[in-house]
Chains A and B, each alone.
Chain A
Amino acid sequence: ETGVTQTPRHLVMGMTNKKSLKCEQHLGHNAMYWYKQSAKKPLELMFVYNFKEQTENNSVPSRFSPECPNSSHLFLHLHTLQPEDSALYLCASSPHTLRSSGVGDTQYFGPGTRLTVL
């Protein structure tokens, strides 16, 4: 395993529900990421956190709300989602962000949460 865990692995929710995705990394990394993976589309970066501070919001709708209480944990709070938000949501971590390190820090991914919005 990569040292990045995500829960739940599968989630089905209605458009009026509120749910949260959780990510935890056991690698001692300082940077964490949320990605969205839809069928036949490249990975889409959503948010970047570096030392618990959000450094990137890639024009993500406000119905997705991230939270990073510490460098090891990352949450994605979901509310009033749309069916087109159904996708695999992946969390990743790296020792540093690309911007801060200046070198090619590899991102390690969790297994993802398969989200279905009805």
Chain B
Amino acid sequence: GESVGLHLPTLSVQEGDNSIINCAYSNSASDYFIWYKQESGKGPQFIIDIRSNMDKRQGQRVTVLLNKTVKHLSLQIAATQPGDSAVYFCAERTGDKLIFGTGTRLQVFP
């Protein structure tokens, strides 16, 4: 069946370091991917998206990389800050549905 999963349930990084959060997807027909950030007590917040015809997309301090060969998606956060502490999860669009992963918790230490 279709699945979207994350390699690491918890990622701990020091403030100022770069963070990389990974996501594996199983459906090669998925054509659109989104990264969301969810802070405690809040709903998911859109971070960045990428279409399957792209390999890389950059935002403010964030970069999403898509490797269709191995069906892998990653979110890179530069100069991680305490405010980046949250659960991050990816979503893939397959047909007319968004399928969400379970999430990775990012913890930022001073």
Contact = CB atoms under 8 A, between A and B. Distances in A.
Residue from A6, A43, A106 having most chain B Cβ neighbours under 10 A: A43
Interface residues of B, number: 25
6 contacts: A42-B4, A98-B96, A98-B97, A103-B32, A104-B49, A106-B34
Nearest to A110: B43
Contact of B93 (A90, A104, A111): A104
B25 interface: no
B100 A42 contact: yes
A27 to B, nearest CB: 12
B67 interface: no
Residue from A4, A41, A98, A103 having most chain B Cβ neighbours under 10 A: A98
B96 A104 contact: no
Interface string A83-118: 000000010100001110001101111111000000
Given A42-B100, A42-B102, A106-B34, A90 B4 contact: no
B7 interface: no
Interface of A: 2, 4, 6, 40-43, 45, 90, 92, 97-99, 103-104, 106-112
Prevailing SS type, chain A contact patch: loop
B103 to A, nearest CB: 8
Nearest to B42: A111
A45 B97 contact: yes
A96 B97 CA distance: 13
B43 A42 contact: no
Nearest to A88: B43
Given A42-B4, A42-B89, A42-B102, A112 B43 contact: yes
A104 B34 CA distance: 9
A109 B44 contact: yes
A69 B100 CA distance: 28
